[in-house]
Structure 1
Amino acid sequence: MEYRYLGNSGLKISAITYGNWLTHGSQVENDVAAQCVRAALDNGITTFDTADVYANTKAETVLGEALKGERRQSLEIFTKVYWPTGPGGPNDSGLSRKHIMESIDGSLSRLQTDYVDLYQAHRFDTETPLEETMQAFADVVRAGKALYIGVSEWTADQIRAGHALARELGIGLISSQPQYSMLWRVIEGEVVPACRELGVGQIVWSPIAQGVLSGKYLPGQQPPEGSRATDTKGGANMISRFMDDDVLTRVQALKPIADDLGLSMAQLAVAWVLQNDNVSAALVGASRPEQVAENVKASGVRIQPDVLKQIDEALGDVVVRDPAKTAENAPARRPG
């Protein structure tokens, strides 16, 4: 396993980070989830990412149980706040001081830990003054409940504004968690340059494009039974943007490239995002322990420039690069 600094902080994290977005508490039974976490630990993964909204708090509970008994100092545990939790009352979402201060305590209780290493704003809250949000995060850090703060799916301008306030308050905003893959490169134009300048590292989600880059979805054919494209709990909606025959045909052209490198297509996809020097970690999930072991093999792989060019040529114009997509996909109002 390769370990990288998160942004310009002194915190090192595993380049492959285990995330439990669509698995723990929903798709995967708790005993299998625990086996996946054990497989992650056995394969050198020390960093675990979750959020209070995943399975409406159940994912945090499952992760807390799975990590119970492990040496806390040997782990980096990340969670997030913003999306609705609980019964969905008027203050059960967003980045108000009230929601942040109540949410961190709930997350710590479910995760069975005194602190998280990274507490992240899961989206930008258009209805709360940024000063209020950053002051609340600063108080969470000063109370010892989080060591660092980060953001997820913020635009470059939002990251700059948040980073400036964090600096004034004397706390470290060190990470951004965006979607990033061979097919979805919208952060490259604005977010990555801003983050390089500020010393903010990327923890990227969906590096395999919800499984599309594994090559298991074939053009003109129905998705495999039990795959994410057939998951009515949310997976099918997320993957739909890539379930296009042109995209799937282009993805199949990556197979010979992966074969030449001795990698599976999924390993190639994870290794590809890790070539970006602003990427600190790739988030991977798993519904089976063996998937974890396979994903870890992408750590430390170096892809030569000529091969990166072959990948670009194979995918052609199906790659999404428009920086405006970050703002377009963000909620205009706090969800209720």
Structure 2
Amino acid sequence: MKYRRLGTSGLKVSEIGLGSWFYGTGSESQSAVECIRKAYELGINFFDNANLYKGGAAEVVLGQTLKDFPRASYVLATKVYFPMGSGPNDRGLSRKHIIEQCEASLQRLNVDYIDLYQCHKYDSETPLEETLRAMDDLISQGKVLYAGVSEWSAAQIIDAVHLAKQLNLRPLISNQPIYNMLVRYIEKEVLPVCERQGLGQVVFSPLAQGILTGKYRAGQVIPADSRAANDSTNKFIASYLKDGVLYCVERLEKVAQGMGVQLPEMALAWVLRQPGVSSAIIGASRPSQIENNVKALEIELTPDLLREIEDILIEIDGFAPAW
């Protein structure tokens, strides 16, 4: 495993991280335990979660599994923003919701502190100062070590960085955006801004919800055991399932085959080529998927290969999934 600093902080995270957004109860819980253990065994130290995932069940299974390992050996990340109840204050980034949800996440994760606490979205209904002060207070209390954001625009990140400096608050160290070969909006503004301001990217969906595994083919029936066939995850994948996109994916797969590697490995190596990316967060339902994904760290994409890939990707420039 290889590790990178998260932004300009001193925190080091594995280049491949493990996400938990579809881990839950029952059979999902058992597969989650197997995947988390395999990830740790392979040197993955960055585990990402959110209070929203499976109504908190994902945090529970992650906490129960990681308790068998030394607390200092892994970096635990979770998020706050989305509704966790029906009340008017059970959502957003108000001080009340942040503090209460941090306490709830600590209990579900069964830990004394969260390494990276992230604002899951931007909250236009709460003053930015209130949000930043609440996060800073949690750090002062030792319940959180670092603060980050997720899917914030470049302008929102700049506002937060400048306000934190003005108020003498601890800086944000990360942003968690979607980023993969098919969705590249962060390259224009978010990446440059974050690199200047010292925020690292911990990107989610680096394999485009499984589209960049090559399992979906233009004009063919969706595999019955895939996420696209699952009602709970289909909404995230459906917009990718366009013939133009899938034809480009087939061409990318041929490039990977020419390199002697699998398409997912090449796709992850492509994401990690960006110096501003600290970690690519994968999702896995089987330990073997994690074993295959970490092989991406052995791949070096030459300038010629990057140009060949870019010639394919330029044909779908501007594609935007319904996220």
Report the TM-score when normalising by structure 2: 0.96
Q: Secondary structure at the residue paired with 2:281?
A: strand
Q: Secondary structure at the residue paired with 1:315?
A: helix
Alignment of 1:232-311 (within 5 A): 232-233=231-232, 235-311=233-309
Q: Secondary structure at the residue paired with 1:297?
A: helix
Partner of 1:19: 19
Partner of 1:207: 206
2:228–2:238: 8 Å Cα contact kept in structure 1?
Answer: yes
Q: Which amino acid aligns with 1:32?
A: S
Partner of 2:89: 91
Q: Which whole-Å CA distance do the structure 2 matches of 1:146 and 1:310 have between them? A: 43
**How far off its partner does 1:133 sit?**
0.4
Which of 144, 147, 150 is the matching residue for 1:146? 144
Q: Which amino acid aligns with 1:8?
A: T
Partner of 2:182: 183
**How far off its partner does 1:98 sit?**
0.2
Partner of 1:109: 107
Alignment of 1:77-88 (within 5 A): 77-85=76-84, 87-88=85-86
* RMSD of aligned residue pairs (Cα, Å): 1.6
**How far off its partner does 1:2 sit?**
0.8
Partner of 1:333: none
**How far off its partner does 1:26 sit?**
6.1
Partner of 1:332: none
Q: Which amino acid aligns with 1:286?
A: A
Q: Which whole-Å CA distance do the structure 2 matches of 1:122 and 1:31 have between them? A: 26
1:13–1:281: 8 Å Cα contact kept in structure 2?
Answer: yes
**How far off its partner does 1:301 sit?**
2.4
Alignment of 1:60-79 (within 5 A): 60-79=59-78
Q: Which whole-Å CA distance do the structure 1 matches of 2:185 and 2:319 have between them? A: 4
1:188–1:321: 8 Å Cα contact kept in structure 2?
Answer: no
Q: Which amino acid aligns with 1:226?
A: D
Partner of 1:229: 228
Q: Which whole-Å CA distance do the structure 1 matches of 2:119 and 2:96 have between them? A: 14
Q: Which whole-Å CA distance do the structure 1 matches of 2:107 and 2:139 have between them? A: 17
Q: Which whole-Å CA distance do the structure 2 matches of 1:66 and 1:310 have between them? A: 42
1:182–1:319: 8 Å Cα contact kept in structure 2?
Answer: no
Q: Secondary structure at the residue paired with 1:253?
A: helix
Identity of aligned residues (%): 47
Q: Which whole-Å CA distance do the structure 2 matches of 1:6 and 1:321 have between them? A: 28
Report the TM-score when normalising by structure 1: 0.93
Higher relative contact order (Cα pairs below 8 Å, separated by 6+ residues): 1
2:133–2:169: 8 Å Cα contact kept in structure 1?
Answer: no
Q: Secondary structure at the residue paired with 2:173?
A: strand
**How far off its partner does 1:112 sit?**
0.9
**How far off its partner does 1:317 sit?**
2.4
Q: Which whole-Å CA distance do the structure 1 matches of 2:153 and 2:25 have between them? A: 30
**How far off its partner does 1:164 sit?**
1.9
Partner of 1:155: 153
Structure 1: tracts of 5 or more residues without a match: 330-336
Q: Is the alpha carbon distance of 1:26 and 1:227 closer, same or farther for their aligned partners in structure 2, counting shifts above 3 Å?
A: farther
Structure 2: tracts of 5 or more residues without a match: none
Q: Which whole-Å CA distance do the structure 1 matches of 2:34 and 2:208 have between them? A: 24
Q: Which whole-Å CA distance do the structure 2 matches of 1:74 and 1:276 have between them? A: 26
Q: Which amino acid aligns with 2:52?
A: V
1:91–1:99: 8 Å Cα contact kept in structure 2?
Answer: yes
Q: Which amino acid aligns with 1:146?
A: V
**How far off its partner does 1:260 sit?**
2.4
Q: Which whole-Å CA distance do the structure 2 matches of 1:60 and 1:200 have between them? A: 25
Q: Secondary structure at the residue paired with 1:221?
A: coil
1:4–1:281: 8 Å Cα contact kept in structure 2?
Answer: yes
Q: Which amino acid aligns with 1:195?
A: C
Q: Which whole-Å CA distance do the structure 2 matches of 1:59 and 1:28 have between them? A: 13
1:186–1:321: 8 Å Cα contact kept in structure 2?
Answer: no
2:178–2:203: 8 Å Cα contact kept in structure 1?
Answer: yes
